[in-house]
Structures are given as structure tokens and as C-alpha cells.
């Protein structure tokens, strides 16, 4: 046992994820793989073993939808997928509207979905009492899988190729990490030790424990999900196979019912959040059933018994039908509901492949295997990158709080701008108190409380009247106020003051700093000191990896400024691409600086009131940055604008932020200054200018040409993605990013409706659109354009249909509205010549 076996990778955990990962690694040419599990095969006792095993094709996120589609295809190839169809039924009118929204969203991703009546439901599922429901969404492609069998086949295929050794009943005792390089060096187990530089943790609910052995964190928590199995159901006795009737998601009660052979399985997400600490999960030997099938707590399920009886009275009310199986099943939950994938930021070579559901398992296995092999998964999974978390988000307290609050939202109606109630006021900007006094309505991003708009601006509503584009329908009025649009108009008339404290500032310094930044960024980085560069980062295939600004503060000093949402992932990307010899270093200075934006026609006048430095157009050119003094505060002013107005981002030491805010606020009072929230900064301002956002328009699926962001020439220095980008420049793009205007928001009931993003774009005769690379057209960003009086949307259209003036449709809430292609490309709709910005 003292000899270490050398292997290419150790994969820990033989559930659906681990099995899928080793299969795809083997397929991609990896040899000498080892798969470990502390339980026996084929069912080692994790969440896969008791999963409800059904797959609905649509999720709220594009990434999850794509992973699900890929997983489904893999399950079909493995011969373990049975199509059954699935319903989501509505008991309330609020849910009906949600189903309409979901049906339209399904169309965006070309997934079959039909809205049907209770009578239709009764034909599909005769044991469902149609009087209890008002409407349903029907998904014909829903099915069930045998995930244990799938995992076994995948694992055995890898073994069959001679690429994989499997050690069951083997416990991991430790993971060794070289303290100098922070890289994995080996794994110690109860049946032998391994030498390796690659370890993948696919341990589901046990993942945090295993990660901790290496000094890394995987922020998930085990949480209970109750399910019971009821049978024998007389109606099912004559059906052949595992399932013959469609699955029912009774979403208003947070439950589902599915046939499983002769039984009806009833699952619930309605009960109180029952968190289980990973260290208290029983071992395989101690558990009565399995470690993730915990004893059933009847009281938590009782209300659901009644609701299930209400929906399927004869079937489930039969006295001869017994509850044959009932568990508190354990599943993994993360702070934001997305999986945790990728190399951990703390330890190199240690990969997290955790918090996956059955419906994404194989897809995630493939994507991570591709990521581990070539650095680039085919399906974009940036949303699930484990490096996205801040330290506070990794704490047990935060993970458990989010899981508790998020649990009952599993089938909930979740608004795209939905705010959490718990775990608020975690990160506060220095001007937080001043903002509160101004009636700020705070939304949380990356833990920061950011004003989305200010109630103190309410009088602006009277000033601007209908130009604020008021909304009457409830959904798009939720988490929104016409004050946002009023602030926008006031900013464009006078100036706006914006809290940008959530920015992440990363300083890259050292003799190799220029070389490193040159390698990572698309734009030319060898610019004069004091120049601000707006650039993207690409991946090796030329897809977007980041979109941000970089200030050259010195010959060997670059400050990268990026948004709070993606800051931590960007930090890892840059770190990973710095030279190993330490000749370029990265420092996270987010907590050292606060940033305030000042933009509008009167921005210069305002700033000139409080600084003696030259802020004239000739004296302070656009796209430059320099230190100036504002009311005794030494700040770094950067003349760029994400809202398309004259103005600056002003960086002050964090501890002086409150004073800077007050200084600028007072100075602006004579110049029509209003505090403006993120509603303006993040949406209205940039949409009118056609400014793209990473994560919305700019993703790994698209390139600079399609996004309309090419420059006349490409720098001669090499950078990541250059070859792919150059090739793309040579050919006609399959898609073109366009700005669309909503021509008539009037719905069939006379109300005006405003899409919020994600909706499908259709041709004038109602057909969905896909470009030459198979990508569907849907709204990537949407919002009001108050200065233009139009509701604006960005969407990639197939290049052949991307003509200015073209008339198309957008589908929202199961209705179609006319849209017009206002811009094919990146020309701003508002102030196309950028005169304001360059004033």
C-alpha cells in the first residue's frame, strides 16, 4: 500500500456525473483513469440511486437547456430513454400567465410546447381531475431515463477501452497538494494511493467534504427532497414498461407525479427546507437504505398527501393502494441554483463536477471532459463556472441560507429580476447611507446592495409624463419602476450620478504585465500610459470570454475593471494565463477603490465645480484616464461611458467614497444632476447605444464578427483566439447582432406588454429562426429606450434576414408582437455619431 500508482486522473464519485465524465475522457483519448467510490457498484448510494429520473427539456437558463438537450441525446444513444410526454398544470391565474411565458420561452429554444385546456389534459392523463386545474403546458419530448443503467454502460465502455480502472468500496482518505505550486499531486485511499496531477470531484452531496481535504471549497449543501411511491396502481398493471402516462408537474403545489412501473411516484418541493450537513450523512453501512435515502418525516409531507389526493382522487384514494416507499432524499443545492463546474480557484488540477441533476448529468460529463482536454467545452457553461463565487458566497451560512430560500422556488414563478430576502446588506458601498436617504431601491449583485432606482426621483415622473413609458401589466412592472426611465431622461438632459462600487478592480503588474495582457486581450495593449482600452477576452475558439476595460497606469501596471457578476471568473482567467515565474502578478483591489459614474451633457460643468484640474475636452481626451483632485480627494478619473454620454468613471479610495459622492452630488445640484440607478446604467443607457453585455450578447457561442465589434485591423501580436478570429473575419458571419424596436406593444386584451428578455424572434409568418450554425434567434437583452420612445431588444438574427427595416415578430406571453430591425450591427440608435460622448 505504500507504492503509489501513477494515473492520468482520479475521478471520485460513480454517480451519473462521474460515470459520464470517465466515459467522455476515455472517448477523448485519456488513458490510465481511475474511478473511485466508497460505495458498491452499480448503486453506490448517492443521489443518482434514488433520482426521479425524468427530464423536462426546458429550464430557465439557456445553458441548462442545452445541457439537458445534450444529455437527452446521450441517454437516447445509450438506449435508456423512454419518452412519456410531460405536463405542467396551472391551478391559479398567476400560474397561467407563467405557463404562457414558459411556452413562448420554449419556442425561443425550439422546444415543442403547447398550451392546452383541462379537457385536453384529461384525455392525456385520465386520472387527473380536470376540475382542479385551469390550464396546462404540454411538452411532448419529456421522458424518463434509467440513470443507473446509463452510468453503468458509460463506465463499462470506458473500461472496455482499457482506459479505466474502477475501485468500488474505496474511501478517499486525503488529497495531496504541492504547497509551492498549489497543484494536486496525489490521492490517498483505503485501497491504495495514486500519483496524479488531475482529480475530479463528482461526489454530489459529499463534494464539500472531499474538496476540503485538498484545501478547496465546493459551495453546495445537501438538502432534503421528499418522495413517496404508491402502488400497486390497478390502472398501471396493464401498461408495459416503466411509464405509459405523461408526467405531471403540479407546479402550484410544488409537486410532481410520475408513473414508475406499477407505482405512482409523488415528489415534493413544498416542504420546509431541510438542510443536512455533509459531515452528518450516514455511511453506506450505517444507512438503512442508502446514505442519500434518509428516514421519511411524515409531518412534512402531510399537506402534500392532501394535494395529491385532490389532483388524482380515484387513483391515489384507493384503499388498496399503499405507500410502499417513502424517503427524505438528499440532493445538492448551490447558492444560485447552477452546477459547480471547473477547476477550483484554490487548487490547480482539482476539478469540481458537482451539483448536477440527472437531466444534465451526461451533458456535464461531456462538457467538463472537453474542458479538461482542450480548455473549451462545446456547450457554453460559463454560468456554472465554480470560480464565479466570492469568498462570502462560499461560506456554509450563505450556501445554506440561499438553499433554504431557494428550495421552495424549484417550481416557483421566478422573475428574471427576482430579489432574495435573506442574506442582504452583505456588501455596502461607502455612500450607502446617502443612498438610503435618497430613497434608493436596492437590488443585490455579487453581494453588493446597488440602487436600482431612487424614490426621491419620483417628482421626475410628472416632469416627463408619458415619456417614461409606464407599464400596466403586472409581470414586467414587477421589480421595476417608471422612475428608472425618468432618471434616464433626466441624465440625458442634465447629468446622472451612478454608484459603481460593485466593479471588480484587478491590477496586473510586473515586468511581464504588458506581455501577459497582450496575450489575453484582443485589443492592442501597448498604449500610452493613461489610455483606457475597451476590449474583449476570447477563448481559443474565438468565442467571448469577457468584455471589460483596462487602464494602463504605468509601463508595467494595468488595471482591469470588470463587472461584479463575472469578476471572480475573470480573475481566475487572468491568473491562469500569467507566467508561472511570477514576473507578472495580479492583485484584487476591489475593496480598495470605490467608483462613481458621472455622465450627462452637464457632467463637465459639474466636475469643474469641484476640481482645479483640466477637465476640458482638449485637456482630458475621451478614452484616457489620469489622477485628479476633487475637493481634496485624490481620485483616478477615467473618461469613458457605458451610457453614451459625456462623463467619467471616478475611482476614489474606498474610505473616501462617501465624501466624493456628497461632493459631486452637491456640485451637480445647479446642473440638473440626479442620482441614477443600475436600471439606467445596466439597461436603458446601453440599449439605446447598442452597447453589448458579456453574458447576454457576448458569450462563447458567438464571435466578434457576429457581434459587430470588429475593428478595421487586428493587432500583430498573438492573443488567445486570434487564429479563430482571423478565420472568422475572412468569411460571412452566420448571424448578425441587431437592435430591434417593439413596434406595437398592444396585446389582444388591449394592455401594453413589454418583453424582458429570452423571447423567441419569429419571421413575419410566425416561424422560428435558426442561423447557419443552428443557433436560434431570441432576445438577449430587452428594456425601455426612453429617449427614443421605443422598447428595445437585442437579438442575433440569421445574417440573411438581418436587414434594417425588416419586419419580424417577438413572442411573449403566448402572443406575437411586431418588431422592426432598427440596426443590423452595432451602430447606436441614439446619437449614432457619438457626439455626446465625444463632447
Partner 1 sequence: MDVLVCVKRVPMVGGRIALQPDQRHIDTTLLGFTVSPHEECAVEEAVQVTEAHGGEVTVLTLGPPEAAEQLRAAVSVGAASAVLLPTEEEGLGPIATARAITSAVTRLERERSRVFDLVMFGNEAADTGDYQVGIRVAHALGRAVATGVKQLEVTAGEAVARREYRGAEELFRLPLPAVVTVKEGINLPRYPSLPGRMRAKKATIVTFVPETPDEAVEMRTLRVPTSERRSAEVLGHGKEAVPALVSLLEKMGVVS
Partner 2 sequence: MTKVVCYVELDADGVVDASARALTFARGITTRPTTLAALLPSPPTAEALGQLQSFGVSDVAVLEHDGISGYSPTALSRCLDAMSGEEDTLAVVAAATDHGNEVLAHLAATTGRDFVAVCTAAREEDGGGFSLTRHRWGGSLLEDSVLRAPRAIFSVSTDAVPPVPAPAATAPTTRTIRPELSAQELALQAAESRPESSGVALASAKVVVSGGRGVGGPEGFAVIEELAALLGGAVGVSRVVTSLGWRPHREQVGQTGTKVTPDLYLACGISGAIQHLAGCQSAKQMVAINTDPDAPIMARADYAVIGDVSEVLPALVAALGERRSRGRGE
Active site residues: 225, 256, 547
Shortest spacing between CB 728 and partner 1, in angstroms: 55
Shortest spacing between CB 311 and partner 1, in angstroms: 12
235 binds, among partner 2, partner 1, none (CB under 5 to 8 A by kind): none
Shortest spacing between CB 7 and partner 1, in angstroms: 22
308 binds, among partner 2, partner 1, none (CB under 5 to 8 A by kind): partner 1
Closest CB to partner 2 among residues 165, 408: 165
First vs last Cα of the chain: how many Å apart? 74
Cell of 70: 445534450
Shortest spacing between CB 167 and partner 2, in angstroms: 8
Shortest spacing between CB 190 and partner 2, in angstroms: 12
40 binds, among partner 1, partner 2, none (CB under 5 to 8 A by kind): partner 2
Closest CB to partner 1 among residues 284, 373: 284
What per-residue string of b and e applies to 733-748 under the rule 16 or more CB within 10 Å gives b? bbbbbbbbbbbebebe
Which distant-in-sequence residues (6+ apart) come within 8 Å of 54 by Cβ? 84, 86, 142, 143, 144, 145, 247, 256, 258, 359
Per CB under 8 A, the list member of 4, 5, 8, 41 interacting with partner 2 is 41
Cell of 700: 462563447
Per CB under 8 A, the list member of 285, 462, 466, 749 interacting with partner 2 is 285
Among 775, 579, 609, 784, residue whose Cα is nearest residue 679: 784
Closest CB to partner 2 among residues 192, 695: 192
Q: How many residues does the chain have?
A: 839
744 binds, among partner 1, partner 2, none (CB under 5 to 8 A by kind): none
Contact footprint for partner 1 (CB under 8 A): 230, 280-289, 294-296, 298, 302, 305-306, 308-309, 316-324
Q: List, as one string, the DSSP characters of 13-47.
A: --SHHHHHHHHHHHHTT--SEEEE-SS-SS--SSG
Shortest spacing between CB 95 and partner 1, in angstroms: 24
- In the shown chain, the binding pattern of residues 241 to 280 toward partner 2, with x for contact by CB under 8 A and - for none, equals ----------------------------------------
Q: How far is CA 274 from the centre of its chain?
A: 25
What per-residue string of b and e applies to 784-823 under the rule 16 or more CB within 10 Å gives b? bbbbbebbbbbbbbbbebbeeebebbbbbbbebbebbbbb
Shortest spacing between CB 133 and partner 1, in angstroms: 19
Interface with partner 2: number of residues (CB under 8 A): 5
Rg (CA), the chain: 28
Q: State how far the Cα of 219 lies from the Cα of 393, in Å rounded to an integer.
A: 8
169 binds, among partner 1, partner 2, none (CB under 5 to 8 A by kind): partner 2
Report the run of H or E that residue 153 belongs to, with start and end.
helix 147-160
Closest CB to partner 2 among residues 285, 618: 285
Shortest spacing between CB 168 and partner 2, in angstroms: 4
* Sites for partner 2 among residues 158-177 (CB under 8 A): 168-169
Report the run of H or E that residue 303 belongs to, with start and end.
helix 298-311
Per CB under 8 A, the list member of 6, 29, 31, 40 interacting with partner 2 is 40
Among 749, 747, 797, 750, residue whose Cα is nearest residue 773: 797
168 binds, among partner 1, partner 2, none (CB under 5 to 8 A by kind): partner 2
Q: In what order do the strands lie in the sheet with 350-354?
A: 164-167, 33-36, 9-12, 199-201, 350-354, 340-343
Closest CB to partner 2 among residues 41, 565: 41
322 binds, among partner 1, partner 2, none (CB under 5 to 8 A by kind): partner 1
3-state secondary structure of 706: coil
41 binds, among partner 1, partner 2, none (CB under 5 to 8 A by kind): partner 2
Which distant-in-sequence residues (6+ apart) come within 8 Å of 190 by Cβ? 170, 171, 173
DSSP H helices in 16-124 = 16-27, 62-77, 93-108, 118-124
Closest CB to partner 2 among residues 42, 303: 42
Closest CB to partner 2 among residues 41, 540: 41
> What is the SS3 string spanning 568-581?
HHHHHHHHHCCCCC
478 binds, among partner 1, partner 2, none (CB under 5 to 8 A by kind): none
Closest CB to partner 1 among residues 284, 585: 284
Closest CB to partner 2 among residues 19, 781: 19
Q: State how far the Cα of 678 lies from the Cα of 303, in Å rounded to an integer.
A: 41
> What is the SS3 string spanning 327-372?
EEEEEEECCCCCCEEEECCCCECEEEEECCCCCCHHHHHHHHHHHH
Shortest spacing between CB 539 and partner 2, in angstroms: 41
For binding to partner 2 (CB under 8 A), which residues are involved? 40-41, 168-169, 285
Amino acid at each position: 500500500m505504500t507504492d503509489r500508482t501513477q494515473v492520468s486522473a482520479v475521478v471520485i464519485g460513480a454517480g451519473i456525473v462521474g460515470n459520464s465524465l470517465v466515459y467522455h475522457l476515455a472517448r477523448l483519448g485519456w488513458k490510465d483513469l481511475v474511478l473511485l467510490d466508497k460505495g458498491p457498484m452499480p448503486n453506490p448510494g448517492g443521489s443518482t440511486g434514488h433520482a426521479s429520473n425524468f427530464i423536462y427539456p426546458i429550464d430557465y437558463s439557456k445553458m441548462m437547456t442545452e445541457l439537458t438537450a445534450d444529455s437527452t441525446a446521450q441517454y437516447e444513444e445509450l438506449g435508456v430513454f423512454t419518452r412519456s410526454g410531460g405536463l405542467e398544470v396551472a391551478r391559479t391565474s398567476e400560474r397561467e400567465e407563467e405557463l404562457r411565458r414558459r411556452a413562448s420561452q420554449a419556442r425561443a429554444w425550439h422546444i415543442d410546447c403547447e398550451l392546452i385546456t383541462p379537457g385536453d389534459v384529461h384525455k392525456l392523463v385520465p386520472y387527473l381531475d380536470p376540475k382542479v386545474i385551469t390550464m396546462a403546458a404540454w411538452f411532448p419530448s419529456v421522458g424518463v431515463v434509467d440513470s443507473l443503467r446509463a452510468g453503468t454502460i458509460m463506465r463499462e465502455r470506458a473500461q472496455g477501452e482499457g482506459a479505466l480502472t474502477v475501485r468500488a468500496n474505496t474511501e478517499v482518505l486525503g488529497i495531496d497538494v504541492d504547497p509551492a505550486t498549489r497543484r494536486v499531486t496525489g490521492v490517498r485511499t483505503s485501497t491504495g494511493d495514486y500519483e496524479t496531477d488531475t482529480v475530479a470531484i463528482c461526489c454530489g452531496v459529499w463534494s464539500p467534504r472531499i474538496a476540503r481535504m485538498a484545501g478547496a471549497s465546493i459551495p453546495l449543501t445537501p438538502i432534503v427532497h421528499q418522495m413517496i411511491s404508491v402502488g400497486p396502481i390497478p390502472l398501471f398493471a396493464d401498461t408495459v414498461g416503466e411509464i405509459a402516462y405523461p408526467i405531471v408537474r403540479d407546479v402550484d403545489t410544488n409537486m410532481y407525479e410520475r408513473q414508475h412501473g406499477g407505482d405512482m411516484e409523488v415528489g415534493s418541493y413544498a416542504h420546509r427546507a431541510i438542510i443536512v450537513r455533509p459531515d452528518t450523512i450516514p455511511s453506506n453501512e450505517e444507512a438503512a437504505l442508502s446514505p442519500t435515502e434518509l428516514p421519511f418525516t411524515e409531518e412534512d409531507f402531510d399537506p402534500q398527501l392532501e394535494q395529491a389526493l385532490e389532483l388524482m382522487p380515484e387513483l391515489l384514494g384507493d384503499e388498496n393502494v399503499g405507500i410502499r416507499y417513502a424517503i427524505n432524499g438528499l440532493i445538492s443545492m448551490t447558492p444560485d441554483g447552477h452546477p459547480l463546474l471547473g477547476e477550483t480557484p484554490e487548487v490547480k488540477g482539482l476539478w469540481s463536477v458537482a451539483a448536477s441533476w440527472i437531466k444534465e448529468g451526461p451533458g456535464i460529463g461531456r462538457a467538463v471532459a472537453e474542458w479538461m482536454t482542450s480548455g473549451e467545452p462545446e456547450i457554453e457553461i460559463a454560468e456554472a463556472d465554480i470560480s464565479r463565487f466570492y469568498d462570502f458566497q462560499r461560506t456554509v451560512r450563505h450556501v445554506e441560507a440561499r438553499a433554504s430560500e431557494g428550495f421552495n422556488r424549484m417550481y416557483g414563478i421566478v422573475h428574471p429580476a427576482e430579489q432574495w430576502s435573506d442574506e442582504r446588506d452583505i456588501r455596502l458601498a461607502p455612500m450607502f447611507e446617502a443612498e438610503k436617504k435618497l430613497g434608493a431601491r436596492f437590488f443585490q449583485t455579487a453581494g453588493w446592495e446597488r440602487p436600482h432606482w431612487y424614490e426621491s426621483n419620483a417628482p421626475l415622473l410628472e416632469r416627463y409624463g408619458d415619456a417614461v413609458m409606464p407599464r400596466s401589466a403586472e409581470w414586467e412592472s414587477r421589480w421595476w419602476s417608471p422612475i428608472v426611465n425618468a432618471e434616464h431622461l433626466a441624465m440625458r438632459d442634465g447629468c446622472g450620478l451612478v454608484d459603481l462600487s460593485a466593479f471588480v478592480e484587478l491590477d496586473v503588474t510586473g515586468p511581464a504585465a504588458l506581455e501577459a495582457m497582450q496575450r489575453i486581450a484582443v485589443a492592442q495593449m501597448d498604449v500610452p500610459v493613461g489610455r483606457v482600452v475597451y476590449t474583449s477576452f476570447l477563448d481559443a475558439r474565438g468565442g467571448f470570454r469577457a468584455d471589460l476595460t483596462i487602464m494602463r497606469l504605468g509601463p508595467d501596471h494595468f488595471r482591469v475593471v470588470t463587472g461584479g457578476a463575472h469578476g471572480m471568473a475573470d480573475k481566475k482567467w487572468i491568473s491562469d494565463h500569467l507566467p508561472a515565474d511570477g514576473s507578472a502578478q495580479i492583485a484584487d483591489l476591489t475593496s480598495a477603490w470605490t467608483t462613481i459614474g458621472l455622465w450627462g451633457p452637464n457632467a463637465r460643468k459639474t466636475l469643474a465645480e469641484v476640481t482645479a484640474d483640466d477637465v476640458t475636452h482638449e485637456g482630458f481626451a475621451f478614452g484616457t484616464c489620469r489622477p485628479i483632485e476633487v475637493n481634496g480627494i485624490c481620485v483616478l478619473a477615467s473618461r469613458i461611458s457605458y451610457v453614451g454620454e459625456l462623463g467619467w468613471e471616478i475611482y476614489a479610495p474606498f474610505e473616501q467614497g462617501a465624501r466624493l459622492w456628497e461632493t459631486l452630488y452637491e456640485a451637480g445640484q445647479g446642473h440638473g444632476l440626479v442620482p441614477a440607478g443600475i436600471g439606467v446604467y445596466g439597461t436603458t443607457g446601453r440599449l439605446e447605444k447598442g452597447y453589448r453585455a458579456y453574458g447576454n450578447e457576448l458569450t462563447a457561442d458567438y464571435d466578434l464578427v457576429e457581434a459587430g465589434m470588429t475593428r478595421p485591423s487586428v493587432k500583430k501580436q498573438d492573443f488567445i483566439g486570434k487564429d479563430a478570429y482571423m478565420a472568422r473575419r475572412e468569411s460571412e458571419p452566420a448571424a448578425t447582432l441587431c437592435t430591434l424596436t417593439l413596434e406595437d406593444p398592444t396585446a389582444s386584451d388591449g394592455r401594453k406588454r413589454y418583453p424582458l428578455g429570452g423571447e423567441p424572434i419569429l419571421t413575419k409568418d410566425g416561424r422560428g429562426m435558426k442561423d447557419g450554425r443552428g443557433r436560434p434567434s431570441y432576445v438577449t437583452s430587452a428594456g425601455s429606450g426612453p429617449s427614443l420612445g421605443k422598447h428595445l431588444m437585442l437579438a442575433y438574427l440569421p445574417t440573411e434576414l438581418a436587414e434594417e427595416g425588416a419586419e419580424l415578430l417577438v413572442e411573449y406571453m403566448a402572443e406575437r408582437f411586431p418588431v422592426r430591425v432598427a440596426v443590423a450591427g452595432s451602430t447606436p440608435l441614439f446619437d449614432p455619431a457619438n457626439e455626446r460622448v465625444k463632447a
